[in-house]
Structure 1
Amino acid sequence: MRTEVVSEPGGPDRRNEDFAAVAVPASGQGGCLVVLDGVTPPATETGCLHSVPWFTARLGGTLTELTVYDRDLTLSEILSRAIGRTAETHAITCDLSHPRTPQATVVLARWSAATVEYLVLSDSVLLLEAADGSVVPVLDDRLSRLPRSALARAALVDATLRNKEGGFFTAAADPSVADRAVTGAVPLGEVRALAALTDGAARWVETFHEGDWAQCLALVRKEGARALVDRVRALEAADREARTRLGRSKTHDDATVVFVEL
């Protein structure tokens, strides 16, 4: 098995809000990957005493533990339990009903001798590469289907779209959101590699249109996860003056790439 993990903050003066892990049980049978993209909080009140990195570290650590060792649970059940456990750690001190309580997008994948299972919640991406090199992207596209005009005002998004029916969902403090995730399973023999990307790394495809998902995974396979992040950073720097592609987005976002060759 070949694995690569690269996770880089959006700038030297910023803490990385992403979380990434690859784990293999002591038995050596199967394994899992976990990728979270913490949602950058607003400058205003969030109802929570804790930072987004605090949240993603705890949620990510719990997801990794449960995904590796509780194989009787589905990935949706694992996400639900992990959200619940994380919420319990700060429910007494924080207002977890606040719409901007710490939250994150989620990618989970778990493989055994027979099956690859997956879960995606919000706008991070999981790529499944078949033996013939074809690539299937697993996407939760609810956020991308919303009109940009609906996302223009943060207060309106929080009131009407964030973790709301007809809007989009992230892992925050409500365990039931796990039922909103995109899930599935495929035979292990149909997958030779996996790649998980936060949206900061997926910009190579989604924002700058340098290639499709198959070309993106081929780049990671040939040149490594670091090469993809480096190319995204170069494109962001070149776009800084014109702002033609980034629009209102951050010039540099946290970027995480996890690659696993099964």
Structure 2
Amino acid sequence: MRTELASEPGDPSRPNEDFASVALPAGGQGGALVVLDGVTPPQGDYGCRHSVAWFSSRLGGALTELSVSPRLPPLTEVLGEAISRTAEEHAQTCDLSHPRTPQATVVLARWSAERVEYLVLSDSALLSEAPNGMVTALLDDRLARVPRTSLASAAHVDATLRNKEGGFWTAAADPAVAARAVTGSLPRAQVRALAALTDGATRWVEKFHEGDWADCFTVVRKEGARALVDRVRVLETADVERQFLGRSKRHDDATVVYAEL
């Protein structure tokens, strides 16, 4: 089995708010991968004394442990339990009802000798490559379907779209959000490799339009996870006129995990 992981903060002076792991259960077959993209809050109070990086590391650690548990609960249950555990760690000190309480997007995949299960929540991406080379993007596209004009104000997003019907969902403090995730499973024989990417890395496809998902997967498989992050950084730096980036931050935390099964 070949695995690769690359993660780089968008700003070296700030903590990387992404989380990534690959886990292989002791004494058993299969494995799991976890990728989180912590949601950077706007300036000001967000009801929590902890950083987004703190939240991502706690939630990611719980997801990693639970995803290779011998009990093998459904991935929605894994996410719900991980959210509950993380919330319990700071419920006594922080306002977890605040709309900007620390939160993250989620990609979770788990494989056995028979199946590959997946869960995607919000705008990180999971790519699956079949033995014949066909690449399938497993996405939660609800944020992409929100009109851009509706995202102009953080206050409007928080009041009407964030973790709301008709908007989009992230993992924060409510375990019920796990039921909102995009989930499914594939026969193991139909999956040769997986790649999970935060939106700092999916920019190569979604903002800079350098290729489609199959092209993106090929870069990761042939050149490595780090090569995709490097390519994105070059494109970001070159976009001086912000033709592609628009109002987005110049550099975002970027994470790529690749696993050949």
**Where do 4+ consecutive residues of structure 1 move more than 2 Å?**
none
The whole-number CA distance in structure 1 between the counterparts of 2:211 and 2:69 is 37
- Cα displacement string for residues 9-28 of structure 1 (whole angstroms, at most 9, x for unaligned residues): 00211110000000001114
1:111 corresponds in structure 2 to 111
Counting aligned pairs with the same residue, the percent is: 73
Alpha-carbon displacement from aligned partner over 1:149-171 (angstroms, at most 9, x marks no partner): 00000001001100000000000
Matched residue, 1:77: 77
Matches of 1:48 and 1:72, distance apart in 2 = 32
> How far has the Cα of 1:126 moved from its partner?
0.1
The AA in structure 1 aligned to 2:254 is A
Query: Take 2:187 and 2:238, find their aligned partners in 1: how far apart are those partners?
Result: 42
**Which whole-Å CA distance do the structure 2 matches of 1:78 and 1:12 have between them?**
32
Structure 1 unaligned blocks of 5 or more = none
Q: What is the match of residue 205 of structure 1?
A: 205
- Equivalent positions of 1:5-84 (< 5 A) are 5-84=5-84
Task: Show the counterpart of 1:185.
Answer: 185
TM-score for both structures, normalised by structure 2: 0.99
Which residue identity is paired with 1:136?
Answer: T
The 1-side partners of 2:225 and 2:11 are apart by 18
Residue in structure 2 matched with residue 127 of structure 1 by the alignment? 127
- What secondary structure is seen at the aligned counterpart in 1 of 2:50? coil
* SS of aligned partner of 1:64: helix
Counterpart in the other structure of 2:235: 235
| 1:70–1:156 CA distance, 2 compared to 1 (3 A) | farther
* TM-superposed deviation, 1:211: 0.5
Residue of structure 2 in register with 1:261 after alignment: 260
Residue by residue over 1:57-112, the C-alpha shift from the partner in whole angstroms, topping out at 9 and shown as x without a partner, is 00000000000114431000000000011000000000000000000000000000
How far apart, CA to CA, are the structure 2 residues paired with 1:35 and 1:68?
Answer: 15
Structure 2 Cα separation of the partners of residues 85 and 67 of structure 1: 14
Q: Which amino acid aligns with 2:207?
A: T
CA distance in structure 2 between the aligned counterparts of 1:250 and 1:32, rounded to whole angstroms: 31
* Aligned-partner Cα distance in 2 for 1:132–1:27: 31
- Alignment partners' CA distance in 2, 1:128 and 1:150: 31
> Could you tell me which residue of structure 1 aligns to residue 244 of structure 2?
245
RMSD: 0.7
For residues 3 and 71 of structure 2, what CA distance do their matches in structure 1 show?
21
The AA in structure 2 aligned to 1:252 is: H
**Number of the residue aligned with 1:175:** 175
Which whole-Å CA distance do the structure 2 matches of 1:64 and 1:207 have between them?
30
Q: 1:84 to 1:70 in 2, by over 3 A?
A: farther
Q: Distance in 2 between matches of 1:220 and 1:166?
A: 34
Matched letter for residue 233 of structure 2: R
Normalised by the length of structure 1, the TM-score is: 0.99
- For this pair of structures, how many residues does the alignment match? 261
Partner of 1:145: 145
User: Aligned partner of 1:40: which letter?
Assistant: T
Q: Match of 1:199, as an amino acid?
A: D
Query: What whole-Å deviation, never above 9, does each CA across 1:195-222 have from its counterpart, x for those lacking one?
Result: 0000000000000000000110111100
Q: 1:177 to 1:70 in 2, by over 3 A?
A: farther
Q: Please give the secondary structure, in 2, of the residue aligned with 1:69.
A: coil
For 1:154 and 1:27, how far apart are their aligned partners in 2?
47
- Deviation string, structure 1 residues 148-194 (Cα, Å, up to 9, x no partner): 10000000100110000000000000000000000000000000000
Post-superposition offset of 1:137 = 0.3
Query: Which stretch shifts more, 21-30 or 161-170?
Result: 21-30
* Aligned-residue offset at 1:44: 1.1
